[in-house]
Structure 1
């Protein structure tokens, strides 16, 4: 997967995280801010990662469901729909795998640093 594709996925994750934060008024930990104002532009990494994994899982489940419906002869499901859903699920999984690999590499690099 190229760097531009990975950057695109990361940008989509940031956009999703910001849209999920649109309500405002809560800190990254879920606790309300003391003064009642919106938190600064902080991303809750754990929540973003969890949402991204859930989205990848949802794409996989939807793809599997379409495939099963097609195999059972559902007239509302066509082969191109199944192939596109499978492609989306595969691409999302590959992107998640690449992000995991990059995070692991970064973690290992940080652990090798001397203090």
Structure 2
């Protein structure tokens, strides 16, 4: 399978920026290296910082769900009548599912990282 590197890179750029086409981007192929011209689309770090923020928010959300579950467990154990066993079990199940999903996402990231590191250059 022969993939044109310039075309693939251009598609990835346009997808990350939400554009259907790259306007004003010039790419030159020099052997196996890509050199971008002066009019290449900037701000790739902006999208990575947004992804990092999104990932951080997701982990913080899972942490909040686990804290809420822990608080309901403690309240139920202490005899708080406003917290039922059903509420406690539902909160515990939500926390478990959220944590399992987070672990699966982490596993996929590690798997992708290993695959990228094993790619020939």
TM-score band, normalised by shorter chain: 0.5 to 0.7
Higher percent of residues as strand = 2
Give me the whole-angstrom Cα distance separating, in 2, the residues matched to 1:81 and 1:50. Answer: 27
The answer for the alignment partner of 1:105 in structure 2 is: 111
- CA distances 1:13-44 after superposition (whole Å, capped 9, x unpaired): xxxxxxxxxxxxxx8867xxxxxxxxxxx572
Runs (5+) with no aligned partner, structure 2: 1-42
State the TM-score, normalizing by the size of structure 1.
Answer: 0.63
State the TM-score, normalizing by the size of structure 2.
Answer: 0.60
The partner residue of 1:93 within 79, 91, 99 is: 99
Q: Which segment drifts farther, 42-51 or 68-77? A: 42-51
CA RMSD of aligned residues (A): 1.9
Across the two proteins, how many residue pairs are aligned to each other? 78
Runs (5+) with no aligned partner, structure 1: 1-26, 31-41
Q: Report the 3-state secondary structure (helix = DSSP H, G, I; strand = E; otherwise coil) of the residue aligned with 1:65.
A: helix
Greater relative contact order (Cα < 8 A, sep 6+): 1
